[in-house]
């Protein structure tokens, strides 16, 4: 995608403004331009009438044509003569001429087909700004004002229009026409208006461009208004105007604030037509000593002075450079103080005159007509300039970074000026009446967000009006990167500033993050259309990097075309346009690699027909023929090969069997194998099972061509399965046609199969199964059965297809080997999108757990741990040790690329994987054959997955158990969101030294004693886990919880209890019975009696459990019998209780909120169970029996 001029907005109503302003006598013609009707009827004119016309051309028709042409000519002249300003935000366009002004604002309208919204500039307001015929509009500038809201991020809030008059007045309006401010600074006409704002991205250069200011140029005087003063004053005036409109009164312009400004008298420059401000710069040593040499010693600036630099354009000299020392300019505080003192003085004198009777004779009208006092500017001498007696510069336009500027003069020259030195560093000739602008582009993945570190390219836009050509030049000494023929009656609009007050409205470290100035340079065409200029960043680069960026941009354009093509209806006209568009895109590629990527993308699009592909390859083959460039030759060769393959594919999909048979001989196919490209895939598409060669017969032959054909048959069989899997995924079981190429088949070719090792087929088939099959394990299970009934095969087409494939390739599709490849495919998909595809990780472990071959199972699980789990577990462990709790979502994403929920599931799957390793390490070894098939065993290529798995050793039981303990601890902390716990505190020093060593490393188990501190920490951790698990269960008395949610919660709690029991079994010194008793008691307290009874079966010490259960039952009885909301109902129950039972239940009353209010019968069952397991001579046994009798009496 090269530079282009694209539609920005329509300005059709600009013609309405012209018709409204220009009072032309359309019915009259000037005497010198009148037409003689006799001349129209003479013999010479009649000879020009064509034979067969119904009537001759009349004088009225010619008059109408003449008036229309004259009107168009006057309109084009009016566009070039009037003053035009537009907002850099692209939402406001202002047109002014003489006394009148019109404001057009942007609105969006639906296109004719309704597919998109198109911007149009509609007439918003127009009017006459002055009644004095001698006062005319001389200059305008449109400035968007930044919003102070932080959420707007520097976006414009409203727009002001600054208008300069020939009388010297400066008036500022809002876009609705309301006058905000009127002030005169000098009694000469306003020559120019310039606004300098803080750039959206700062450049670390010689100038400090962070200050904002409005510059007003008179004949030899310049007025500088600081941006902060202007911003605050305009906001105050706008608020005053809004209050006046709300009250329905006329706004009082006379009482509004005045602007604080600096006024300079620019000396030693004969004629000044334009001026720019470059910002502040510190004087260097060279400039200091040069100034001593060239100027008087009295005017030499201090050696370390900071100056504001201004560059003027005009005549004698052409370019002048002025330096204003900052210490000469009054500070902003002093300006405000002076303004406040002046206002206070006027108010005091006005009040005093009213009290004492003075000033009664001065009327309001006389006071308004009184001319203000105009002060002379502070003299500023010319630093140096570019002298040329015959040259006069009309304009000077600064670059966005203020390091460069360009001037346009009367001798058809365009000069590039270095603003640091004031020197002309480049010149363009033959550009009379040229119009110039600048565009700065950035290297960024997001066009709306530009960072300070982004690379940028600067381009100069030159519109040669006399030739009607718009040129784009790379700065400073770069070439012309593009040229467009746009016509001779256009106008180039360039603002040169951005939104005012960006630094005041948002944080200082965020400068215009949304890039509001996206339309700093526009083209106004005579057909009432505004167009913008798009320049890609790669135009600022050269060499291979520029070519890569250009191809990347072209690939994006191709992707957009293909995406729109998916939802579009294709007819003959659309297909013809598509051919031309795609041919143009492919012709712009520079690198063959990009060309091949583009071709693959087009092949993946089902809407692109084969005829379009053939047209593209034919056109490119012709365009690249005979070119000497190396890259072009490679593209030409690729086109030739691609065209041959497409023609062959067309023949294969043809219904004529003769063409197929002529191409299926081994000699012919073997000859096609000489094509040196991996795109040989296309000949294998859509071959059916009617191939006449038998694989076994061909395989037994010793001739190389038969061996080749046998391999080809295997590849054809796999291709058919791939086509089937693609159609099943897209719910389209029809055979592939020549206009639709399944993406799954694009990577299959015989050359790749022969050079990818003997694991090519299992890996490829596993990829198709995992990507397309929904119930993979069901399909794999059918492969392990020696006999699969016909009914099952007919019901499930996947099983039928995979069984047929297994019968054709029995050794290649061995169930355990294929399952191994499926596990790896699943986990690779998870690795690409860790959080989105967490289910792929779960499926991988699920298939691994159900593999029957323990040798493959053990080696594969260890390989998976090393490649996909070990590093992430190491990082998560370090993170938990650092924060001392379960990390939040942000930290999880930073350290592992997964959210907290995905990390929880990842840790659970890690515990399951280590459990598989621990189980298989103790089982006997089963011999596995490395052979795949006699046809493919001798193929070259890397080792396959099975070879890598079989070289793995068995896991070291101690290291495996240690890592399983660690993963279990991490999982419990993460899933329960536990706090104040560091995993490393649960392990001794010797164990921590073994962390993240290779699981197969042969080391002796170190002696680990039962340290009391570790035992205490582990027991405390176990009890905390029990409380956290039971707290996560929903309340049994809550009615809003569905049964499904309760079942899920029960299953999750059971899973967590199992992991906790594993830790209790493997941690040294931990009191397992104590943890189990705590589980039972916590479950009983929350009303999960069934789960508690199941958990009680794991406890050996029944006496202690019985004592705890009596206490739990007492808590539940107290919660029911002494409930605050049921006092009256329980009075009768209290009266029926024996005193000692009442006192005991009362003593068990607790403030804990976890105790559930459950029926007495359920609690009675707990007491009965406790009495059965308690010794008869214990005190708790007596209490339990007494309470049982009392409760039975109540019930």
The CA distance from 653 to 683, in Å, is 10
Between 554 and 545, residue with greater pLDDT: 554
842 or 814, higher pLDDT:
842
Other Cβ atoms less than 10 A from the Cβ of 1055: the count is 14
| pLDDT for residue 661 | 33
pLDDT at 659 over 90: no
- Asked whether the beta carbons of 873 and 967 are under 8 A apart, the reply is yes
Spatial separation of the C-alpha atoms in residues 534 and 545, rounded to whole Å: 20
pLDDT, average across residues 476-482: 89
User: Is 138 in a helix, a strand, or coil?
Assistant: strand
Q: For residue 261, count other CB atoms closer than 10 A to its CB.
A: 19
Spatial neighbors of 232 by CB under 8 A, at least 6 apart, are none
Count Cβ atoms below 10 Å from residue 16 Cβ, excluding itself: 14
pLDDT score for 674 = 36
Q: Indicate the angle between helix axes 957-975 and 870-883, nearest 10 degrees.
A: 50
Q: Are strands 192-196 and 469-474 parallel, antiparallel or unpaired?
A: unpaired
The Cα–Cα gap between 634 and 155 comes to 49
Give the per-residue pLDDT at 1159.
Answer: 77
The two structure tokens encoding residue 774:
């929904």
Closest by alpha carbon to 435, among 457, 458, 459, 460? Answer: 460
Residue 954 reports pLDDT greater than 80: yes
Residue 1188 has pLDDT above 60, yes or no: yes
Q: Which residue has the tokens 């690939």?
A: 555
Question: What is residue 1174's DSSP assignment?
Answer: S
CA triplet 1137, 1142, 1147: central angle to 5 degrees? 165
pLDDT for res 688: 34
In terms of C-beta density within 10 A (0-12 exposed, 13-18 middle, 19 or more buried), how is residue 674 classed? exposed
- With a cut of 90, say whether residue 744 has pLDDT above it: no
| In the predicted structure, residue 733 carries a pLDDT above the cut 50 | no
Per cent of the chain over pLDDT 70 is 71
CA gap 1078, 1055 in Å, rounded: 17
Report the C-alpha gap between 953 and 866 in whole angstroms.
13
- pLDDT tens digits for range 958-1013: 999 999 999 999 999 999 999 889 998 888 888 888 898 888 888 877 776 667 78
Q: How many CB atoms lie within 10 A of CB 661?
A: 10
Q: Are 196 and 277 in contact (CB under 8 A)?
A: yes
Question: Which of 402-411, 646-655, 665-674, 845-854: highest mean pLDDT?
Answer: 402-411
Q: Which residues pair with 274 in a beta bridge?
A: 313
Place of tokens 């008298």: 265
Q: Is the pLDDT of residue 371 over 80?
A: no
Res. 715: pLDDT tops 80: no
Q: Taking 50 as the threshold, does the pLDDT of residue 448 lie above it?
A: no
Q: Which two three-digit tokens encode residue 898?
A: 């997964």
Please write down the HEC assignment for all residues of 1101-1136: CHHHHHHHHHHHHHHHHHHHHCCHHHHHHHHHHHHC
Strand intervals (E) in 419-455: 423-429, 435-442
* Residue 433, phi-psi category: left (phi > 0), alpha (psi -120 to 50), beta (remainder): left
User: In whole angstroms, what is the distance from residue 223 CA to residue 275 CA?
Assistant: 11
Cα 683 from chain centroid (whole Å):
40
User: Backbone phi, then psi, for 271, in 5-degree steps?
Assistant: -135, 120
Q: Which of 489-498, 517-526, 755-764 has the lowest mean pLDDT?
A: 755-764
pLDDT at 719 over 80: no
Average pLDDT over residues 112-124: 82
Q: Which of 439-448, 638-647, 788-797, 943-952 has the lowest mean pLDDT?
A: 788-797
The model's pLDDT over 205-250, given as tens digits with 9 standing for 90+, comes to 566 656 789 999 999 899 999 988 899 899 889 988 888 888 877 7
Long-range contacts of 128-131 (CB under 8 A, 24+ apart): 128/99, 128/100, 128/101, 129/99, 129/100, 129/101, 129/163, 129/165, 129/171, 130/99, 130/165
pLDDT tens digits along 240-294 = 888 888 887 777 666 667 788 999 999 989 999 999 998 888 777 776 776 667 6
pLDDT of 517 > 60? The answer is no
Contact indicator for 721, 768 with CB cutoff of 8 Å: yes
Instruction: Judge whether residue 26 has pLDDT over 70.
Output: no
Using DSSP, state whether 163 is helix, strand or coil. strand
Of the ranges 31-40, 86-95, 193-202, 326-335, which one carries the lowest mean pLDDT score?
Answer: 31-40
Among residues 193, 420, 387, the alpha carbon closest in space to that of 311 is found at: 420
Among 51-65, 209-223, 557-571, where is mean pLDDT lowest? 51-65
Say which residue the tokens 């995924």 belong to.
Answer: 729
Give mean pLDDT, residues 838-851.
Answer: 89
Percent of the chain with pLDDT over 90: 21
Smallest Cα–Cα separation from 308: which of 320, 324, 319?
324
Please state the rounded mean pLDDT for residues 127-154: 83
CB proximity list for 556: less than 8 A, separation 6 or greater: 1
Whose structure tokens read 């007025």? 223
The DSSP-derived string for 183-236 is EES-SSPP-EEEEE---SS---SSSB----EEEEE-SSEEEEEEHHHHHHHHHH
Most confident range, picked from 78-82, 509-513, 805-809: 78-82
Encoded tokens for 1027: 């409380």
Q: Is 819 or 641 the better-scoring residue by pLDDT?
A: 819
Whether 478 shows a pLDDT value over 60: the answer reads yes
Q: Is the pLDDT at 940 greater than 70, yes or no?
A: no
Query: What is 897-960 written as a DSSP string?
Result: SS-HHHHHHHHHHHHHHHHHHHHHHTSPP--------TTTTT--SS--HHHHHHTPPPPPHHHH
pLDDT of residue 671 exceeding 90, the answer is no
Confidence of residue 673 (pLDDT cuts 50, 70, 90): very low
For residue 790, name the pLDDT band (cuts at 50, 70, 90).
very low
Would you call 265 helix, strand, or coil by DSSP? strand
pTM for the structure as a whole: 0.53
Q: Name the more confident of 713 and 1107.
A: 1107
Instruction: Return the CA Rg of the chain.
Output: 44
Neighbours of 181 (CB within 10 A): 22
Q: What is the pLDDT of residues 146-179, one digit of tens each?
A: 887 765 565 788 999 999 999 999 999 998 888 9
DSSP secondary structure of 528-566: TEEEEEE--GGGG--HHHHHHHHHHHHHHHHHHHHHHHH
What count of residues does the chain have? 1195
Residue for token digits 């399965």?
Answer: 721
Comparing 67-71, 351-355, 429-433, 465-469, the range with the smallest average pLDDT is 351-355
Higher per-residue confidence, 347 vs 604: 604
């Amino acid at each position: 995608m090269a530079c282009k001029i694209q539609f920005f907005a329509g300005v059709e109503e600009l013609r309405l403004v012209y018709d409204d302003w220009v009072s032309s006598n359309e019915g009259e013609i000037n005497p010198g331009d009148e037409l003689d009707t006799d001349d129209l009827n003479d013999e010479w004119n009649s000879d020009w009438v064509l034979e067969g016309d119904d009537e001759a051309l009349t004088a009225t028709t010619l008059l109408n044509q003449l008036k229309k042409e004259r009107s168009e000519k006057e309109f084009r002249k009016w566009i070039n003569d009037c003053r035009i300003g537009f907002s850099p935000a692209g939402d406001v366009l202002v047109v002014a001429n003489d006394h009148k002004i019109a404001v057009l604002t942007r609105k969006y309208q639906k296109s004719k087909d309704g597919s998109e919204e198109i911007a149009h500039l509609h007439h918003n307001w127009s009017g006459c700004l002055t009644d004095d015929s001698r006062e005319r509009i001389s200059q305008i500038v449109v400035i968007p004002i930044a919003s102070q809201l932080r959420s707007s991020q520097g976006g414009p809030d409203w727009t002001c229009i600054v208008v300069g008059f020939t009388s010297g007045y400066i008036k500022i309006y809002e876009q609705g026409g309301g006058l905000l401010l009127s002030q005169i600074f000098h009694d000469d006409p306003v020559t120019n208006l310039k606004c300098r704002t803080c750039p959206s991205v700062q450049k670390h250069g010689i100038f400090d461009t962070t200050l904002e200011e409005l510059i007003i140029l008179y004949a030899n005087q310049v007025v500088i208004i600081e941006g902060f003063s202007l911003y605050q004053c305009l906001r105050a005036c706008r608020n005053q105007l809004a209050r006046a409109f709300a009250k329905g009164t006329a706004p009082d312009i006379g009482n509004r604030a005045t602007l604080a400004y600096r006024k300079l008298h620019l000396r030693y420059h004969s004629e000044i037509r334009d001026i720019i401000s470059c910002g502040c710069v510190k004087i260097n040593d060279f400039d200091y000593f040069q100034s001593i040499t060239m100027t008087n010693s009295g005017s030499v600036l201090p050696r370390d002075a900071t100056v504001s630099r201004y560059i003027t354009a005009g005549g004698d000299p052409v370019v002048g450079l002025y330096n204003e020392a900052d210490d000469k300019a009054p500070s902003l505080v002093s300006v405000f103080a002076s303004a406040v003192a002046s206002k206070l003085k006027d108010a005091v004198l006005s009040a005093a005159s009213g009290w004492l009777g003075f000033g009664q004779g001065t009327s309001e009208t006389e006071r308004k007509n009184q001319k203000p006092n105009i002060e002379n500017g502070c003299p500023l001498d010319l630093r140096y300039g570019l002298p040329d007696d015959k040259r006069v510069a009309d304009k000077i336009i600064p670059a966005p970074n203020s390091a460069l500027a360009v001037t346009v003069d009367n001798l058809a020259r365009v000069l590039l000026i270095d603003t640091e030195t004031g020197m002309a560093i480049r010149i363009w000739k033959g550009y009379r009446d040229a119009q110039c602008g600048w565009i700065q582009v950035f290297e960024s993945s997001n066009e709306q967000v530009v960072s300070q570190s982004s690379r940028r390219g600067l381009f100069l836009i030159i519109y040669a009006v006399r030739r009607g050509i718009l040129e784009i030049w790379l700065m400073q000494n770069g070439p012309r990167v593009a040229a467009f023929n746009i016509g001779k009656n256009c106008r180039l609009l360039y603002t040169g500033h951005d939104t005012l007050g960006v630094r005041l409205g948002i944080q200082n470290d965020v400068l215009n993050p949304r890039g509001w100035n996206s339309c700093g340079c526009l083209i106004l065409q005579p057909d009432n259309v505004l167009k913008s200029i798009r320049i890609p960043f790669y135009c600022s680069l050269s060499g291979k990097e520029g070519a890569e960026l250009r191809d990347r941009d072209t690939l994006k354009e191709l992707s957009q075309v293909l995406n729109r093509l998916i939802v579009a209806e294709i007819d003959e006209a659309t297909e013809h346009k598509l051919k031309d568009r795609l041919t143009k895109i492919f012709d712009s590629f520079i690198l063959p690699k990009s060309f091949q990527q583009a071709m693959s993308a087009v092949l993946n699009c089902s809407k692109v027909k084969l005829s379009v592909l053939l047209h593209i390859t034919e056109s490119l083959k012709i365009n690249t023929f005979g070119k000497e460039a190396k890259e072009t030759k490679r593209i030409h060769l690729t086109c030739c090969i691609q065209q041959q393959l497409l023609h062959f594919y067309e023949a294969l999909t043809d219904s004529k069997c003769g063409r197929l048979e002529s191409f299926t001989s081994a000699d012919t196919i073997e000859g096609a194998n000489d094509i040196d490209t991996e795109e040989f895939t296309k000949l294998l598409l859509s071959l059916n099972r009617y191939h006449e060669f038998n694989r076994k017969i061909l395989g037994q032959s010793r001739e190389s061509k038969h061996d080749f054909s046998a391999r080809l048959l295997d590849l054809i069989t796999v291709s058919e399965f791939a086509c089937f899997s693609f159609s099943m995924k897209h719910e389209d079981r029809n055979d592939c046609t020549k206009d639709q190429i399944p993406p799954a088949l694009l990577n299959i070719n015989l050359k790749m199969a022969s050079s990818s090792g003997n694991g090519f087929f299992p890996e490829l088939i596993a990829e198709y199964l995992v990507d397309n099959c929904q119930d993979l394990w069901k399909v794999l299970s059918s492969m392990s059965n020696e006999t699969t009934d016909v009914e099952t095969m007919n019901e499930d087409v996947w099983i039928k297809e995979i069984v047929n494939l297994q019968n054709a390739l029995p050794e290649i599709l061995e169930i355990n080997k294929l399952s191994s490849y499926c596990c790896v495919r699943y986990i690779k998909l998870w690795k690409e999108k860790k959080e989105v595809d967490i289910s792929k990780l779960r499926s991988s472990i699920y298939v691994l757990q159900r593999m029957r071959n323990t040798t493959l199972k053990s080696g594969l699980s260890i390989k998976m741990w090393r490649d996909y789990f070990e590093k992430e577990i190491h990082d998560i462990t370090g993170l938990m040790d650092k924060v001392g709790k379960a990390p939040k979502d942000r930290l999880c994403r930073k350290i592992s690329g997964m959210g907290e929920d995905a990390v929880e599931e990842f840790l659970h799957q890690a515990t399951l994987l280590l459990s598989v390793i621990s189980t298989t390490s103790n089982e006997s070894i089963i011999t596995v054959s490395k052979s795949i098939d006699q046809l493919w065993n001798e193929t070259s290529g890397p080792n396959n997955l099975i070879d890598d798995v079989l070289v793995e050793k068995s896991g070291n039981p101690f290291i495996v158990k240690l890592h399983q303990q660690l993963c279990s601890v991490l999982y419990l902390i993460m899933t329960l969101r536990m706090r104040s716990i560091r995993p490393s505190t649960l392990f001794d020093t010797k164990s921590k030294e073994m962390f993240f060593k290779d699981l197969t490393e042969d080391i002796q188990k170190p002696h680990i004693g039962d340290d009391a501190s570790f035992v205490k920490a582990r027991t405390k951790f176990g009890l905390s886990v029990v409380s956290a698990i039971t707290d996560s269960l929903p309340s049994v008395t809550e009615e809003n919880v569905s049964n499904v949610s309760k079942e899920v919660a029960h299953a999750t709690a059971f899973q967590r209890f199992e992991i906790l029991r594993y830790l209790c079994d493997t941690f040294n010194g931990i009191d397992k019975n104590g943890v189990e008793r705590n589980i039972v008691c916590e479950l009983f307290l929350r009303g999960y009696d069934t789960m508690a009874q199941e958990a009680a079966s794991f406890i050996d010490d029944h006496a202690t459990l019985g004592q705890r259960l009596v206490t739990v039952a007492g808590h539940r009885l107290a919660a029911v019998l002494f409930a605050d909301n049921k006092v009256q109902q329980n009075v009768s129950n209290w009266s029926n209780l024996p005193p000692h039972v009442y006192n005991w239940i009362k003593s068990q009353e607790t403030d804990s909120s976890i105790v559930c209010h459950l029926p007495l019968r359920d609690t009675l069952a707990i007491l009965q169970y406790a009495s059965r397991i308690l010794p008869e001579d214990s005190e708790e046994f007596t209490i339990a029996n007494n309470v049982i009798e009392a409760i039975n009496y109540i019930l």
